[in-house]
């Protein structure tokens, strides 16, 4: 009788340990997939930014960090490009 209780207790503890391990492993896999997705998204964003900056010309005036400063600070020669996220020379 005591032997049966001992075996049942060991089986219950083993099942509990396996359940905890599976939960932790599932969370680990989810976090790795999330990290990979976020890194890919960030790389795509950087690639787009790099492309738009390569096909446009930056304003020669330094320190124009926002759309208002870009337009007024350049004496209306430059405008803000949202895709390149910078102040570019206006295309006429």
Measuring CA to CA, how many Å separate 1 from each of 4, 8, 11? 5, 11, 16
Under the phi-then-psi rule, with left for phi > 0, alpha for psi from -120 to 50, and beta for the rest, what region is 78? beta
Instruction: State the pLDDT at residue 91.
Output: 81
Q: Assess whether pLDDT exceeds 80 at residue 13.
A: yes
Q: Is the confidence at residue 90, as pLDDT, over 80?
A: yes
Q: Which two tokens stand for residue 48?
A: 């787009």
| Overall average pLDDT of the 14-36 stretch | 97
User: For 40-83, what is each residue's pLDDT tens digit?
Assistant: 999 999 999 999 999 999 999 999 999 999 999 999 999 999 99
- Model's pTM, two decimal places? 0.66
What residue segments make up the domains of the chain, in order of their start?
Answer: 2-89
């Amino acid at each position: 009788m005591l032997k049966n209780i001992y075996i049942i207790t060991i089986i219950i503890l083993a099942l509990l340990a396996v359940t905890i391990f599976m939960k932790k492993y599932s969370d680990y896999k989810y976090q790795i997939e999330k990290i990979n997705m976020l890194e890919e998204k960030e790389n795509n964003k950087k690639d787009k930014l790099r492309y738009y900056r390569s096909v446009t010309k930056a304003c020669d005036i330094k320190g124009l960090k926002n759309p208002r400063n870009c337009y007024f600070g350049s004496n209306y020669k430059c405008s803000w490009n949202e895709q390149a996220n910078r102040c570019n020379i206006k295309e006429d």
